[in-house]
């Protein structure tokens, strides 16, 4: 086993890699529509996962460079370069070379089957500035899969690789005021003759192009400037057949050079009528021949071409202008031109992968140049307020022949509509990707690594493409260990977490290389066993070498390292695919024949029993040969168990099951030794000490040990893990599988792997990954298996997680094709457990609530269960959802409600490290279990906060300023919760000019009555950094107690331009200064919020109005978070007509001032009549002396709804919105727009101000202000 160890308008650059003319779908089931409700939480979390590089940190070695990455499964891109230039290095999944038959596994100079790189796009200043004019910065954004970058030469880019059509789209701009001469290079790697590269330009349509091929064929290539060309060579009795390419495009195939006797200086090919310019002819040895020929020899004697001046020029075969692959030889013959020739007679590869990039520059006067050898350049000037669009297409793949013509054709079709569609599809694909499943550990390091790894696989894996090898972003043509599919660790590891993670869009294609190699694997089992070890005899089934490549190719040149288990090791992927997805047809046609071949091999290899036990020989890691390797024993048991299960499901091979069972029961024991006085697992019999993780892989992937295993085996596993270094993620998988303490496992993993300085294979990088795909895949499985396990025949919820740290997961997959949700509070309470049965299999679940019965429901209806110990089993229907919850034994009384109180109803902590005692009242009084669990969250109610801690007794201790949402949850399984917002201040010293919010109003109101509260700001001054130009305010309230009606501005010229009330119990407003007035320059009240206390309260209720967000913008467009506030209001149990009358008066006033029309600020035609009808209906109820309180309340609510609907009919026009250029649309943009309010295109500083003109009508007015506000709320 291997131990190798947007502020201004800018430039839009679009790079696309196309291997075919179709969009790539979201493979695997699209996220269920119900999952859309999770998007605010997921996107809110992911938008903050931004990896930042402040200095170039990549390297050019043979592994994974450390830089921002992008991709879509077929194209992989990594951003490298230096402080001034940005280099987008591109690789493609089909770009494998056969190696010309030179499959040296440890090759260091061009031989060997391996993956090679393609090329890329470089964006650079034409002249490097003498000194930096901006700070270097690169950002990896996971949410929408984009990379932002700033060069010291003061240009910026924002880039994404389309998830659907291999398009790389880059926006390029400068924040400076001076033009920047820029160059964009489109290039292919051109430093290896075996992999020819060409480039050129088509001046007529402004196209640049460059090509490369993974070609170790015998080729002769000549570049010239002219209008015609001839290939001059010899025909003879050994003449073979050639193909000829012009400018990378196959022009003539099947040129036969056979003749009965040698004919000298023959024109074997000619091409005339070429467009005047630079062209390249390439002669390719096909390795085929006329049946009469004795060989496949081709001869190059000379090339003759017509120059641009019309003269005929002959270039001899020895001229250095002709580029030959390594397979040509010299020969002297007097009949040749100049007496010499070059000849070759072999087709060195089984395939050739070819790529072509074609680029078209639009919207700028660009000069186009090429070096003819792999780089073409567009040079232009980048001006502020200038847009240049650059489209780059790369087509090709295995045995492609029309790659260049296809690329040039496609690039000519690309336009703005294409780009818009690409962006829409890209965003949707990644949204569905993130919705498929998600996990939160609420540990910053663990979550970053999890989502960085998952993002990386979203960029590298896709079922419809050739799977990537170990290092898909490698910058060289010699990736570590050939970048192939290593069967004894890497390939299994890099795909390990997809099944439990419910990631079929990533896993569906990973089996093809294994299946493609089966025919060769059968041959190897019969013919190569003595090559594995001299003592071995031929075997049945399949034998795989250490490394394979796509399309059934052995990349390791028949190297086995004494290992016979490689096919079974990586074959775990095949077994898991069935276990998790339960696809019987796939099992029948693909999976089972492979698994059966694994079993056939082991049966023939182990032979008969020795002293009642089956014995095996092999190596757990490369070259470590011995008797009964523990990993081999584990894999034998794994394969036998898989055969017993799958054969029964298919109803086949019943006669073999006794044999498989016998081997499973009687294979030799795992090898152990005594080390430091304790028994540990070792690699083979006779080993005296534990060495490293192969000694423990019988736990996983062999799945032999579990939490349910015997105490003896678990003790041995614990002893071994105690001395293990945890310097790779799979140690933590072992820990989860046997229930080893999670805190120890995570601490060790962080110290010895994640938090180490960044190196090739350790240390969390700025893009939240670690070098080597396999470590990232193993890490996903580690986190997934801490949350959910199912390999024991039943499902465990949170099998190995902390009992005092919150976590949650949604739609992880359990074996049996079940999607599972679960949540654990920081008090160790498991809740919100749900399951979706994809295939209708019988489900078995270990009760996660010891001491309580497990209750299963479907749409609220009980589902019958059978119980065996603590495992509950129930039938399911395909596509159905099930809820799992605890119920009290012996028909106990569940909790029906909880309320939270504090002394004197205080909801603030104002002192440093202050405490607040919260108490929970639980009803009914005779509830069987009245205990509650306390958790402090952020205001979203899902993210555990770091602003305060709360203990088991409800004592809240302040840590940081802000707002905490404290939740008390019943522990009886009833799911009843209550919450209270607590404002925390005084933990940090605030600048004196930071605004402080105030919220004032009545302490007591009557039920059914209207009332108002005032929002104000203190610590506001007239300075440009303190004055308030815009505000974004959110108030949370108890929607069961009061209703929001409206909000009124109290400062002239500072109106509310948007109000959002979609979230129950929350109102959010956006306000901005209007015209030359309205800037808030002093402390005081700013808005009046109008409310209605809901009627018919049986008793007085105290509720809190809480300012959960107060963000303001100063005159510099800077966003400032103001100190929040709250207000307690008691609602008494009296009601009258005041509420309805107040709303009628308000609605009539708004109606009277409204105007219908089609202009901004007017209301849509017909909307006034609708509002008037609602006013009249409410007035009729108000005038009815017999109207009941219920009728009055209903009329008030109906009119209030009509009033809010009417406010939504105001006409606005808006576009863009990022006024201050910080790549976010928020209150800072609104404040910046307010600064420029009233300016027009005639204003002297219009170039600065016009970023606020989002509807581009040449003026900045209320339409722009409202448009920006709407964008903020989107």
Distance of alpha carbon 151 from alpha carbon 183, whole angstroms = 14
Nearest 5 degrees, angle CA 428-CA 432-CA 436?
175
- Reduced to 3 states (helix: H, G, I; strand: E, B; else coil), residue 621 is coil
Q: Which residue has the higher pLDDT, 1100 or 763?
A: 763
pLDDT at 889 over 80: no
Cβ–Cβ < 8 Å for 711, 671: no
Provide the residue ranges of all domains of the chain, joining segments of one domain with +. Answer: 11-195+354-440, 217-347, 484-669, 812-887, 897-980, 996-1207
At 268, the pLDDT band (50, 70, 90 cuts) reads: very high
Provide the CB-side half-sphere exposure for 562 (13 A, CA): 17
pLDDT tens readout for residues 148-193: 999 999 999 998 999 998 888 888 898 889 999 999 999 999 888 7
Q: Residues 951-954: contacts with CB within 8 Å, 24+ apart?
A: 952/827, 954/917, 954/918, 954/919, 954/920
Q: Identify the pLDDT of residue 15.
A: 41
Tokens of 245: 């390419």
Structure confidence at residue 888 as a pLDDT band (50, 70, 90): low
- Please give the backbone phi and psi of residue 325, each rounded to the nearest 5 degrees, phi first: -70, 170
Exposed, middle or buried, 91 (CB in 10 Å: 0-12/13-18/19+)? buried
Token pair recorded at residue 1231 = 């404040």
* Fold agreement (217-347, 484-669): no
Residues 6+ apart with CB under 8 A from 278: 200, 201, 223, 224, 225, 370, 372
Residues 607 and 1169: their CA atoms lie apart, in Å, by 90
Residue 1097 tokens read as 């309260």
Cβ(961)–Cβ(984) below 8 Å: yes
| Six token digits for residue 819 | 């999607």
Give residue 893's pLDDT. 85
The CATH fold of domain 484-669: Glycosyltransferase (1.50.10)
- Mean pLDDT estimate for the chain: 88
User: What digits encode the pLDDT tens for the residues 1218-1268?
Assistant: 887 777 788 888 888 888 888 988 888 887 788 888 888 889 888 888 888
Contacts of 791 (CB under 8 A, 6+ apart): 579, 703, 706, 737, 815
The model's confidence at residue 1197, banded by pLDDT at 50, 70 and 90, is: confident
Q: Which residues pair with 1237 in a beta bridge?
A: none
**What is the rounded distance in angstroms from the CA atom of residue 262 to the CA atom of residue 242?**
17
Between CA 1077 and CA 1090 the distance in angstroms is: 25
Which of 100-114, 517-531, 753-767, 1109-1123 is predicted with the least confidence, judged by mean pLDDT?
100-114
Q: Average pLDDT, stretch 868-886?
A: 96
Which CATH code of 3.80.10.10, 2.60.40.1180, 2.40.10.10, 3.30.720.120 fits the domain covering 812-887?
2.60.40.1180
Task: Using the predicted structure, report yes or no on whether residue 347 has a pLDDT greater than 70.
Answer: no
Q: Which of 390, 435, 460 is nearest to 207 (CA)?
A: 390
Tell me the HSE value of 425 on the side-chain side, using a 13 A CA sphere. Answer: 20
Q: How far apart are CA 501 and CA 819, in angstroms?
A: 9
- Per-residue confidence at 1189, pLDDT binned at 50, 70, 90? low
| Structure confidence at residue 890 as a pLDDT band (50, 70, 90) | low
Structure tokens at 319: 């001229």
In the numeric block, the tokens 């069972």 are attached to 661
Each residue of 273-317: pLDDT tens digit? 999 999 999 998 988 899 999 999 999 999 999 999 999 999 999
Dist. CA 1100–CA 1134, nearest whole Å: 9
For the stretch 1119-1124, contacts whose Cβ atoms lie closer than 8 Å and that sit 24 or more positions apart, written own/partner, are 1119/1226, 1119/1227, 1119/1228, 1119/1231, 1120/994, 1120/995, 1122/994, 1122/995, 1122/996, 1122/997, 1122/1017, 1123/961, 1123/985, 1123/990, 1123/994, 1123/995, 1123/996, 1123/997, 1124/962, 1124/963, 1124/983, 1124/997
* Strand runs labelled E in 424-530: 438-440, 485-486
Domain 897-980 part of CATH 2.60.40.1080: yes
Check pLDDT > 80 for residue 1178: yes
Q: In this structure, are residues 219 and 284 in contact, taking their beta carbons and an 8 Å threshold?
A: yes
**Cα separation, 117 vs 557, whole angstroms:** 22
**Residue 28 pLDDT > 60, yes or no?**
no
Give 1123's DSSP letter: B
User: Omega into 924 within 30° of 0, i.e. cis?
Assistant: yes
Q: What is the pLDDT of residue 891?
A: 59
1215 pLDDT above the threshold of 50: no
Report residue 1208's pLDDT band, with 50, 70 and 90 as the boundaries.
confident
What CA–CA distances, in Å, run from 104 to 107, 481, 554, 558?
5, 10, 11, 10
pLDDT at 101 over 60: no
- Count Cβ atoms within 10 A of the Cβ of residue 290 and give its class: 0-12 exposed, 13-18 middle, 19 or more buried: middle
In terms of Cα–Cα distance, which of 552, 555, 663, 510 is closest to 601?
Answer: 663
Residue 465 in contact with residue 399, Cβ under 8 Å? no
Contact 1003, 1129 (CB under 8 A): yes
Look up the CATH architecture of domain 996-1207. Sandwich (2.60)
Q: Is 1178 helix (H, G, I), strand (E, B) or coil?
A: helix
For 259-332, strand residue ranges (E) read 263-271, 277-289, 298-300, 302-307, 312-316, 322-324, 329-332
pLDDT: which is higher, 16 or 4: 16
Q: How many whole angstroms separate alpha carbon 952 and alpha carbon 950? A: 7
CATH of 11-195+354-440, one of 3.40.50, 2.70.98, 3.40.1350, 1.10.8: 2.70.98
The Cα 724–Cα 751 span in angstroms is 13
First to last CA, the chain: 51
What is the CATH number assigned to the segment(s) 217-347? 2.60.120
CB 297 within 8 A of CB 240: yes
Instruction: Quickly count: other Cβ atoms within 10 Å of residue 1003's Cβ.
Output: 10
User: What are the pLDDT digits (tens) for 204-221?
Assistant: 888 999 999 887 568 899
Res 110: pLDDT: 37
Backbone angles phi, psi at 924, to 5 degrees: -75, 165
**Rounded mean pLDDT, 32-42:** 78
Structure tokens at 607: 């032979």
- Spatial separation of the C-alpha atoms in residues 1171 and 1156, rounded to whole Å: 12
Tell me, what's the pLDDT at 991? 62
Phi, psi of 981 (to 5 degrees): -85, 135
Other C-beta atoms closer than 10 Å to the C-beta of 37 total 9
* pLDDT tens for each residue of 713-767: 999 999 999 999 999 999 999 999 999 999 999 999 999 999 999 998 999 999 9
558: which 2 tokens?
Answer: 């028949």
Q: How many CB atoms lie within 10 A of CB 1004?
A: 12
Rg over CA atoms, the chain: 36
- Whether the pLDDT of residue 1214 is over 50: the answer is no
Nearest to 1209 by CA among 1169, 1256, 1268, 1258: 1169
Helix (H) or strand (E) holding 862: strand 861-862
Q: Is pLDDT of 10 > 50? A: no
Length of the chain: 1274
* Res 270 pLDDT > 60: yes
| Per-residue pLDDT, 1094 | 85
Closest CA to 1074 of 900, 1235, 965, 925: 1235
Query: Whole-model pTM?
Result: 0.75
Instruction: Say whether pLDDT at 9 is over 50.
Output: no
> Is 851 buried (19+), middle (13-18) or exposed (0-12) by CB count in 10 A?
exposed
- The CA distance from 1040 to 163, in Å, is 44
pLDDT attached to residue 279: 92
- Please report which confidence band the pLDDT of residue 414 belongs to, taking 50, 70 and 90 as the band edges: confident
Distance CA 1104, CA 67 (A): 48
- Is 208 in contact with 378 (CB distance < 8 Å)? yes
What are the backbone dihedrals phi and psi of residue 71, each rounded to the nearest 5 degrees, phi first?
165, 180
Coil, strand, or helix at residue 474? coil
Burial class (CB in 10 A: 0-12, 13-18, 19+), 166: buried
């Amino acid at each position: 086993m291997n131990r190798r160890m947007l502020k201004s308008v800018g430039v839009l650059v679009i790079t696309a890699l196309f291997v075919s003319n179709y969009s790539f779908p979201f493979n695997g089931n699209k996220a269920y529509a119900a999952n859309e409700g999770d998007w605010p939480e997921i996107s809110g979390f992911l938008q903050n996962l931004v990896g930042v590089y402040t200095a170039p940190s990549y390297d050019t070695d043979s592994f994974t460079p450390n830089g921002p990455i992008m991709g879509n499964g077929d194209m992989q891109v990594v951003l490298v370069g230096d402080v001034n230039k940005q280099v987008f290095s591109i690789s493609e999944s089909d770009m494998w070379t056969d190696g010309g038959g030179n499959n040296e596994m440890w090759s260091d100079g061009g031989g060997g089957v391996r993956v090679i790189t393609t090329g890329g796009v470089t964006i650079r200043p034409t002249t490097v500035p003498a000194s930096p004019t901006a700070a270097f910065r690169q950002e990896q954004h996971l949410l929408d899969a984009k990379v932002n970058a700033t060069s010291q030469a003061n240009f910026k880019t924002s880039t994404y690789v389309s998830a659907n059509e291999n398009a790389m789209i880059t926006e390029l701009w400068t924040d400076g005021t001076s033009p920047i001469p820029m160059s964009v290079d489109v290039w292919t790697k051109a430093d290896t003759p075996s992999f020819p590269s060409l480039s050129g330009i088509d001046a007529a349509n402004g196209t640049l192009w460059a090509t490369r091929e993974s070609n170790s064929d015998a080729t002769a290539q000549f570049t010239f400037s002219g209008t015609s060309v001839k290939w001059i060579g010899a025909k003879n009795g050994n003449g073979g057949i050639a193909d000829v390419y012009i400018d990378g495009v196959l022009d003539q195939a099947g040129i036969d050079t056979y003749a009965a006797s040698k004919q000298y200086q023959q024109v074997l090919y000619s091409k005339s009528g070429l467009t005047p310019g630079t062209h390249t002819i390439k002669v390719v040895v096909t390795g085929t021949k006329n049946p009469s020929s004795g060989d496949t020899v081709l001869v190059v004697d000379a090339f003759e071409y017509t120059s641009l001046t019309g003269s005929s020029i002959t270039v001899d075969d020895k001229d250095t202008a002709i580029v030959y692959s390594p397979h040509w030889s010299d020969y002297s013959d007097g009949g040749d031109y100049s007496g010499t020739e070059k000849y070759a007679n072999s087709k060195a590869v089984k395939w050739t992968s070819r790529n072509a990039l074609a680029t078209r520059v639009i919207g700028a006067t660009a000069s186009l140049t090429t070096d003819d050898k792999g780089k073409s350049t567009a040079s232009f000037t980048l001006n502020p307020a200038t847009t240049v669009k650059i489209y780059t297409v790369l087509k090709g793949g295995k045995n492609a022949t029309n790659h260049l013509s296809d690329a040039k054709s496609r690039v000519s079709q690309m336009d703005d509509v294409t780009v818009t569609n690409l962006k829409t599809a890209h965003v949707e694909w990644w949204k569905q990707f993130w919705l498929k499943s998600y996990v939160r550990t609420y540990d910053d390091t663990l979550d970053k690594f999890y989502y960085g790894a998952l993002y990386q696989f979203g960029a590298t894996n896709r079922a419809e493409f050739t799977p990537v090898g170990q290092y898909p972003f490698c910058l060289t043509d010699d990736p570590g260990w050939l970048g192939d599919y290593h069967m004894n660790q890497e390939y299994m590891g890099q795909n390990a977490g997809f099944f439990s993670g419910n990631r079929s869009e990533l896993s569906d294609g990973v089996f093809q290389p294994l299946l493609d190699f089966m025919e060769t694997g059968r041959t190897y089992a019969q013919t190569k066993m003595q090559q594995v070890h001299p003592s071995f005899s031929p075997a049945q089934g399949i034998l795989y070498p250490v490394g394979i490549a796509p399309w059934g190719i052995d990349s390791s040149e028949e190297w086995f390292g004494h290992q016979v288990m490689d096919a079974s090791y990586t074959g775990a992927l095949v077994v898991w695919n069935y276990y998790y997805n339960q696809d019987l047809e796939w099992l029948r046609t693909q999976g089972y024949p492979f698994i059966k071949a694994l079993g056939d091999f082991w049966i023939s290899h182990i032979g008969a029993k020795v002293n009642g036990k089956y014995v095996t020989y092999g190596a757990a890691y490369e070259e470590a040969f011995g008797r009964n390797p523990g990993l081999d024993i584990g894999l034998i048991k794994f394969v036998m168990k898989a055969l017993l299960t799958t054969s029964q499901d298919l109803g086949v091979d019943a006669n073999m099951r006794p044999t498989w069972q016998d081997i499973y029961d009687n294979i030799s024991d795992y090898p152990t030794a005594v080390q430091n006085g304790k028994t540990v697992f070792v690699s083979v019999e006779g080993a005296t000490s534990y060495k490293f993780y192969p000694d423990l892989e019988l736990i996983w992937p062999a799945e032999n040990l579990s939490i349910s295993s015997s105490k003896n085996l678990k003790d041995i596993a614990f002893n071994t893990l105690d001395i293990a270094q945890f310097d790779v993620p799979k140690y933590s998988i072992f820990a989860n599988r046997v229930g080893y303490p999670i805190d120890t496992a995570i601490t060790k993993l962080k110290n010895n792997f994640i938090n180490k300085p960044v190196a090739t294979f350790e240390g969390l990088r700025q893009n939240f990954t670690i070098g080597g795909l396999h470590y990232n895949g193993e890490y996903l499985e580690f986190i997934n298996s801490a949350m959910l396990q199912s390999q024991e025949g039943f499902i465990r919820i949170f099998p190995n997680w902390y009992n005092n740290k919150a976590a949650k997961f949604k739609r992880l997959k359990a074996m049996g094709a079940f999607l599972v949700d679960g949540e654990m509070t920081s008090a160790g309470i498991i809740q919100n457990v749900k399951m979706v049965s994809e295939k209708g299999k019988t489900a078995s679940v270990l009760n996660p609530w010891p001491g309580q019965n497990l209750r299963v429901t479907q749409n609220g209806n009980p589902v019958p269960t059978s119980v065996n110990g603590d495992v509950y089993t129930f039938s399911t229907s395909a596509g159905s959802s099930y809820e799992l919850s605890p119920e009290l034994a012996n028909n106990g009384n569940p909790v029906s409600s909880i309320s939270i109180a504090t002394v004197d109803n205080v909801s603030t902590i104002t002192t440093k490290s202050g405490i607040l005692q919260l108490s929970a009242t639980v009803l009914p009084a005779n509830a069987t279990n009245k205990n509650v669990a306390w958790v402090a969250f952020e205001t979203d109610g899902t993210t555990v906060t770091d602003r305060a801690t709360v203990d088991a007794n409800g004592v809240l201790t302040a840590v940081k300023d802000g707002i905490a949402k404290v939740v008390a949850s019943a522990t009886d399984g009833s799911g009843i919760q209550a919450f209270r917002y607590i404002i925390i201040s005084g933990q940090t010293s605030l600048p004196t000019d930071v605004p402080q919010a105030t919220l004032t109003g009545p302490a007591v109101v009557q039920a059914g009555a209207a009332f108002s509260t005032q929002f104000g700001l203190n610590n506001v001054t007239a300075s440009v950094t303190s004055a308030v130009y815009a505000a974004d305010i959110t108030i949370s309230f108890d929607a069961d107690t009061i209703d929001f009606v409206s909000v009124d501005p109290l400062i002239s010229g500072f109106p509310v331009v948007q109000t959002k009330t979609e979230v129950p119990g929350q109102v959010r407003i956006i306000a901005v200064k209007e015209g030359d007035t309205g800037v808030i320059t002093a402390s005081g009240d700013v808005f009046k919020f109008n409310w209605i206390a809901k009627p018919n309260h049986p008793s007085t209720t105290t509720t809190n109005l809480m300012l959960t967000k107060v963000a303001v913008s100063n005159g510099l467009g800077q966003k400032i978070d103001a100190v929040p506030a709250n207000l307690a209001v008691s609602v008494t149990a009296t009601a009258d007509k005041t509420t309805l009358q107040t709303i009628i008066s308000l609605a009539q006033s708004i109606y009277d001032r409204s105007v219908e029309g089609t202009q901004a600020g007017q209301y849509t035609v017909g909307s006034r009549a609708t509002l008037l009808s609602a006013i009249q209906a409410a007035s009729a109820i108000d005038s009815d002396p017999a109207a009941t309180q219920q009728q009055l309340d209903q009329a008030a609510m109906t009119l209030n709804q009509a009033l809010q609907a009417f406010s939504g009919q105001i006409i606005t026009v808006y576009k863009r919105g990022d006024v201050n250029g910080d790549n976010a649309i928020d209150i800072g943009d609104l404040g910046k727009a307010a600064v420029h309010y009233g300016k027009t295109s005639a204003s002297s500083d219009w170039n600065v101000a016009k970023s606020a003109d989002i509807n581009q009508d040449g003026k900045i007015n209320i339409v722009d202000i409202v448009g920006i506000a709407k964008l903020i709320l989107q």
